[in-house]
Structures are given as C-alpha cells and as structure tokens.
Amino acid sequence: MQLKGTIRELFSIKVYRNNLIIMMICWSYASFAFFLVPLYIGEADLNLYLISICLAVAEIISSFICLFITHTRDNKKSLIFFCGLSCIGSLGALIFQSVYKSDN
C-alpha cells in the first residue's frame, strides 16, 4: 500500500491516529511545563530563585529516572506512569502553594 501523506490517512490509519493522540498529550504536558509554570511562578508570592533551582534539580533527576524506566519497561506503561506522576506533581505544587506562606 502506497501512502500519499494526506490528512485523511493520518486519521484513518489506527497506528497513526494513536501516535498522534500520544504526541498531543506529550506536547500538552511539555508546553504546560515550559510556558505556564514560569508565568504562574512569577505571579505567585514565592522565592523565584529557590523554585527555579528546585525545578532544575528535579528535571535532572527525572531525566535519569526516565532513561532508566524507558529502557527497562514498555513504552506505553512508561508514558502512562510519567503522565500520572506529572499529574501528582502538579497537584502537589498546588497544595504546596496553598499551604506555604512566604515571609516577603
């Protein structure tokens, strides 16, 4: 079967459609972390430098964990695990902000 590279093929072939949905979910998480978190932290009454350092350290640690898990586990299970972990982390950040009172 010769593919033409049309939009219809993207949505009609099940593998392509599933991959597109997975890529959209990953892009949503990545764009949230890259664009919205710094904007939100700038508006919050928190120590911006401390939060930046904590996020950088967490990203380094998570990169090593991601490499370990993706090489030892199934990719589908790894994606589900990291999406769930991201959700838990986001809820933890919201709870932390509601409990933490800055001295500023």
Task: Judge whether 47 lies within some domain.
Answer: yes
Task: Judge whether 79 lies within some domain.
Answer: yes
Looking at the predicted structure, is the pLDDT value of residue 50 above 80?
A: no
- Domain membership of residue 19 as a residue range: 7-99
Task: Judge whether 16 lies within some domain.
Answer: yes
54-69 mean pLDDT = 78
User: Which has the closest alpha carbon to 93: 66, 57, 64, 54?
Assistant: 54
Do the Cβ atoms of 6 and 13 come closer than 8 Å? no
Query: pLDDT tens, 9-21?
Result: 888 889 888 888 8
Whole-number pLDDT of residue 84: 85
- Which residues fall within 8 angstroms of residue 52, CB to CB, at 6 or more apart? 41
pTM beyond 0.75, yes or no? no
Task: Judge whether 77 lies within some domain.
Answer: yes
Q: Domain total for the chain?
A: 1
